[in-house]
Amino acid sequence: MRKRKLSTRVGAGLAAAIASAIVVPLAFTSSHREAPNIMLDPSADNTDVYAWTAPGAEDSITVASNWIPGQVPANGPNFFRFDDRARYYINFDNTGDGVADIKYRYEFDTDVRNPNSFLTAGPNTTDYAGLNQIQTYDVTREEYKKGKLKDTEVVAEDLNVAPSNIGPKTFPNYEDDFVPGAISDLPDGGKVFAGQREEPFFVDLGAAFDAINVRVGTGNQGQGKDDFSGYNTSSIVMQLPEEQVTKDGEPVADMDSANAVVGVWSTTERRRLEVRNADYNAGSPGSVSGKKNKWVQVSRLGNPLVNEVVIPLGMKDRFNRTTPDRDAELYGQFVTEPELAAVLNALFGINAPETDRADIVQAVLQGIPGLNQHSGQNAGTPVDTLKLNLGVDPSDEESRFGALAGDLAGYPNGRRPIDDVVDIDLEVVAGILHDPPNAVPLGDGVDQNDAPFLEEFPYLGTPYSGFDSNPSQRFEPSHPPTPAGGP
């Protein structure tokens, strides 16, 4: 590997040794149905963003972004697809000001070949040509300078979207027949995938929203109930040569390079005016075009859990509409005085500091100096983007506690699918990065996904089929209690 191997010089300073685990399960969604308005618009609701350096693709940035939460696999006959009337974006900020410098725009188009059939695919369908309903998409790269659009380039057109996994009688070899055909190389390097995947977020959700209930016997040592087990989601996964997203357009030499850190987040836009019951078969996109009918941002997501548990209810939809460069001004107080810390103290008496939480601002919004904080004039600007240092190689031994456990290739340095962001963020809110530290081994008792991730692109797992649909019942204990190994 060309990049310098890391010591744990940053992680060692972060991690605090914990002798005993207390039993406090708490949980949240990352950003599933997190705000009153976007909850009513699931096809525009983005749920999780992951950005990491994948093994075998060390010179690229890998990003996965999910939309349409809580897909019950059996929900036919119209299964799940992206909305042709929306624009889906993956955004990159390479200067640290919270303003996108590069955006990849994904736009979808659905075609029904035989409108007289109620099936989106007939029995024994083994290729895209056999689908009755097929969705395709175009990818457009937009380049900005200080927020001004400088260049727009359509980099791919009419790519296949992997269909929803209906069942073995419809798709006898779903993964082999449809995933390779949904992976497309981009002309300037890199590749993209769009389509259904297994829901990679893992959490004990039921406990959290029942007034932060407690399941006795769990903590950060496993045996919780993964309420997202058995569900699917709609994913866009892209892998780009890193020089396509760095601020100088060059590859990253090492983790100390001035171009090493890139901020990532995803957004969804809709037309201000939209026809909700447009006729897809007539080829109408359902959007009312025209100069005055602007595209407006209706959802965004960078770090997991920010809009979920940091932003108060009355502001969650505004958070979805605003841009990261305004985060400090609009929402800074909710981070420095997090309600969650007070709630945790009231319920469990864990002595989490309740005010002046510069440590949370740094971990989530500013980036950690020497690891994933931008360099240059915007160093330390608090913006909700997922900040990844592209000079950090993948870890030989990954820890679900990521950087807190000295595994610098993990959250909050970017985010890998295996990172246990619920446990990490609970421990951060409790004060593990605080000075002085307040190390409390909080966790929801769910410490890994219910389905395996793939070792290769597109990394996210095979979606459950409609035939095998059994949502939220796949936790029965999928693995024994794990040792307290984390921080």
Q: Which residue is nearest to Ca ion (CB)?
A: 95
Write down the least CB distance from residue 467 to Ca ion, Å. Answer: 18
CA nearest neighbour of 386 among 1, 65, 24: 65
422 binds Ca ion (CB under 5 A): yes
Cβ closest to Ca ion, residue 238 vs residue 446: 446
Cβ closest to Ca ion, residue 24 vs residue 134: 24
Cβ closest to Ca ion, residue 83 vs residue 325: 325
420 binds Ca ion (CB under 5 A): yes
> What is the rounded distance in angstroms from the CA atom of residue 309 to the CA atom of residue 344?
12
* Structure token digits, residue 163: 């269909």
* Structure token digits, residue 169: 């009688």
For residues 409 and 392, is the Cβ–Cβ distance under 8 A?
yes
97 binds Ca ion (CB under 5 A): yes
Cβ-Cβ contacts under 8 Å for 134 (sequence gap 6 or more): 110, 111, 113, 128, 160, 161, 163
User: Of the listed pieces 162-170, 173-181, 197-205, 401-409, which binds Ca ion according to CB under 5 A?
Assistant: 197-205
Cβ closest to Ca ion, residue 97 vs residue 243: 97
444 binds Ca ion (CB under 5 A): yes
Write down the least CB distance from residue 374 to Ca ion, Å. Answer: 9
Cβ closest to Ca ion, residue 131 vs residue 240: 240
Write down the least CB distance from residue 85 to Ca ion, Å. Answer: 28
Neighbouring C-beta atoms of residue 159, cutoff 10 Å: 20
String of contacts with Ca ion for each residue 423-442, x by CB under 5 A? x-------------------
- Name residue 388's beta-bridge partners: 262
93 binds Ca ion (CB under 5 A): yes
101 binds Ca ion (CB under 5 A): yes
Specify the residue for token string 């209706």.
Answer: 298
Cβ closest to Ca ion, residue 80 vs residue 108: 80
Q: In what order do the strands lie in the sheet with 232-241?
A: 46-52, 60-71, 232-241, 191-198, 183-185
199 binds Ca ion (CB under 5 A): yes
User: Of the listed pieces 42-50, 52-60, 195-203, 405-413, which binds Ca ion according to CB under 5 A?
Assistant: 195-203
Write down the least CB distance from residue 255 to Ca ion, Å. Answer: 20
Write down the least CB distance from residue 290 to Ca ion, Å. Answer: 30
> What is the rounded distance in angstroms from the CA atom of residue 469 to the CA atom of residue 482?
28
Cβ closest to Ca ion, residue 222 vs residue 285: 222
How many residues touch Ca ion (CB under 5 A)? 14
> What is the rounded distance in angstroms from the CA atom of residue 190 to the CA atom of residue 185?
6
Write down the least CB distance from residue 199 to Ca ion, Å. Answer: 4
99 binds Ca ion (CB under 5 A): yes
For residues 208 and 229, is the Cβ–Cβ distance under 8 A?
no
String of contacts with Ca ion for each residue 446-465, x by CB under 5 A? xx-xx---------------
Write down the least CB distance from residue 209 to Ca ion, Å. Answer: 16
Report the interface residues with Ca ion, using CB under 5 A: 93, 95, 97, 99, 101, 199, 420, 422-423, 444, 446-447, 449-450
